Chains A and B, each alone.
Chain A
Amino acid sequence: MDAILIQILNGLDKGSAYALIALGLTLIFGTLGVVNFAHGALFMIGAFCAVTLQKILTLSVTTIDPERTDFLGNPMKVQTPYVENWFGPEMGATIIDWAVPLAILLAIPVMVLVGFVMERGLIKHFYKRPHADQILVTFGLAIVLQEVIKYFYGANPIPTPAPSAFKGSLDIGVWLGFDPYSIIYPYWRLVYFFFAGIIIAGVFAFLQFTTFGMVVRAGMADRETVGLLGIDIDKRFTLMFGLAAAVAGLAGVMYTPILSPNYHMGMDFLVLSFVVVVVGGMGSLPGAVLAGFLLGILQSFASMNEVKSLLPGIDQIIIYLVAIVILLTRPRGLMGRRGVMEE
């Protein structure tokens, strides 16, 4: 029992990332009808927002401390981050420590801006073009964004630790009445899961309970009629693109302590997220979220030693295998609507 529970927990953090990216992808596809291969790059840009903030916060001024000397007897040079000078050493250290969560504040405007520029500057011109063209141009854009990041940040992963308050692990087993140390789960992954839950709930609440969301949903169902009612649906869809970009970016920001960001992380996640979207059903938001968590958990079950000894290599291919089976038996995906992207 505890073995099963730990696999479910292990699947949750990856599943949350899949679900968040897939949610953004589906938002874009459902509203604008565009297949966005650059969505992984947005996830990556989000992650690099965290890196940037960390770099900015640790910018230091070098002063000479006459009271202390280094091993040669010269006065010691001390590097103090500006933040520590401004807010006092303790407060400054705390701010630096909390760089990743603080990066959320930076990432939201940056990502919304990136989303706007992308939609108005490029994707707008591709609504009428075939899906293949949309895939190709966004694929090109993904390469460009990836290379720009590589130019500025280098090719190596940059470690961005979680706040020290969240270092260490939680012994969930004890709570549930198992032996101590049977289920150990890092705090940050738990944070990530709850964070993903809040974002997902937020997006759904926004679409469900606000007038704006209602109009957007109406536009997703029948764009033409909504337009005929005198509503500027394009403007709202552009906003939704910004929102989707922000969701992907936030997923990236919070994922940095789990996986040190590198320039190709976007592409790695993109392929799997597309599989997730297709499994969930193109254009279905609940489907994307469900499939994200489902595939994340399945993947973690497949990497159990017991399963691997029975079916060697299954952990490597399980997601693709599920995708193939679902596409062939249920072309609409788990929760896809009838008539969306069906031939």
Chain B
Amino acid sequence: MLGLERKDTLLLIAVAFITLFAPIILNPFPAGSALAQFNAGYPDLMQRFVIFGIFAIGFNILFGLTGYLSFGHAAFLGIGSYSAVWMFKLLSMNVIPAIVLSIIMAGLFALVIGFVSLRRSGIYFSILTLAFAQMSYNLAYSVLTPITNGETGLQLTLSDPRILDGASTGGLPVTSLFGAEMRDTTTLFVGPWSWDFSVGYYFCAVLMLLAFYLSVRIFRSPFGMMLRAVKSNQQRMNYTGLNTRPYTLAAFVISGMYAGLAGGLLAAMDPLAGADRMQWTASGEVVLMTILGGAGTLIGPVLGAGFIKYFENIFSKINDGILHQWFAFMPDGLENAMVAVIHPFIGKGWHLTLGLLFMLVVIFLPGGLVEGAQRTGRLFRRRDKNADHVESDAARQRAAAE
């Protein structure tokens, strides 16, 4: 289907199913129950899941396929956001032109930065991309203030021209897709559950599915094959007389455009853009997402992005009170001891847990969560097979005895 093999089609359908029903799947606990705080099915967070999913999918096209570790991808995210907000200010509140411009701008910047950075590889490439991203960040903060509005961040104002929309009346206009407002949310109550279906989320989700489909096609194409060859041995490729630069540059630009799309979507959901989005910690975050999920795998980056964003928004809200509830069944002394031990890792300390988890993944599971799942799967399968052997052996012995 759609030019995909059977396995990939199944994966795509599974991803589509999960994203489309995410508002239901992510809200497994009834509203108002004790566990309701673990519900991740509110629009703001779901949008982050898919947007950072797009960002990580794009990063994976570069890092997962070619092995070039960019430490400056957040620059493209920021550029995407700034261009989208400018489009909202100047042209129209419709999200389509904004997103188109953010993809184009990010692509152009990626072309320039990639052209220069890809002349080196290995750690030098990482440092070069880092340097470019930090330059953009510093410039956005200081000299480019007329364009980026410096520390305050770029926001919509009432006096913006918005040529296509005409003069706005009343308050600030909101982003929309041909009239459908991005912040529109329908809440469905089924028994004790409540599910939020938001226009903005579904817009992002559809784009993420498109982005995911495109990345599957890239992974399975001859072009993707070439990129893998670059990863495994670039020197050999060069010796065979093949110039790898255009391929890596294409991969860099594509992943930059993905980041631009993600940045544009961030701005479309919440029309403001700040320089923080370009800081190198943001670049580090996408690296974490991709590695945690599994670099070089199709679904890994999406998983990683979801995992980290869930951690950031849900795990960080667990506090001592909740822990005391959980361990209430223990004797008092033990309960307090448990809470004291776990305390540094929860709430504000979620970064610590994330860092530890990340280290464990890099040390023991270089393939990320996906490899973890595969290994567990294989373990079960092998055990079944062993069991079969045992049974057949037993049957043979029985037969021999008779």
Measured CB to CB, the residues of A under 8 A from B are: 35, 122, 125, 131-133, 135-137, 139-141, 143-144, 146-148, 151, 267, 271, 274-275, 278, 282, 312-313, 316-317, 320-321, 323-324, 327-328, 331, 341, 343
Contact = CB atoms under 8 A, between A and B. Distances in A.
Given A133-B366, A151-B349, A278 B67 contact: no
Interface in B178-236: 234-235
B287 A136 contact: yes
Chain A binding surface, main DSSP class? helix
Contacts of A331: 120, 124
A56 to B, nearest CB: 22
A320 B130 CA distance: 9
Contacts of A282: 123
B359 A271 contact: no
B170 to A, nearest CB: 38
B336 interface: no
Q: Which of B131, B287, B344 has the most CB of A within 10 A?
A: B131
Contacts of A143: 351-352, 354-355, 358
Contacts of B90: none
A133 B366 CA distance: 8
A281 B67 CA distance: 23
Chain B binding surface, main DSSP class? helix
Interface of B: 67, 69, 116, 119-124, 126-128, 130-132, 134-135, 138-139, 141-144, 234-235, 280-281, 284, 287, 291, 344, 349, 351-352, 354-356, 358-359, 362-363, 366
B340 to A, nearest CB: 13
B126 A135 contact: yes
B280 A136 contact: no
Contact of A324 (B128, B141, B284, B287): B128
A343 B234 contact: yes
B116 A328 contact: yes
Given A133-B366, A324-B116, A147 B352 contact: yes
A342 to B, nearest CB: 9
B363 A125 contact: yes
A312 B143 contact: yes
A141 B134 contact: no
A233 B277 CA distance: 45
A328 to B, nearest CB: 6
A160 B22 CA distance: 51
18 contacts: A125-B363, A132-B69, A136-B362, A139-B284, A139-B358, A140-B362, A141-B355, A141-B359, A143-B352, A144-B355, A146-B355, A151-B349, A320-B138, A324-B128, A327-B120, A327-B124, A341-B122, A343-B234
Contacts of A313: 138-139, 142-144
A267 B126 CA distance: 16
Contacts of A312: 143
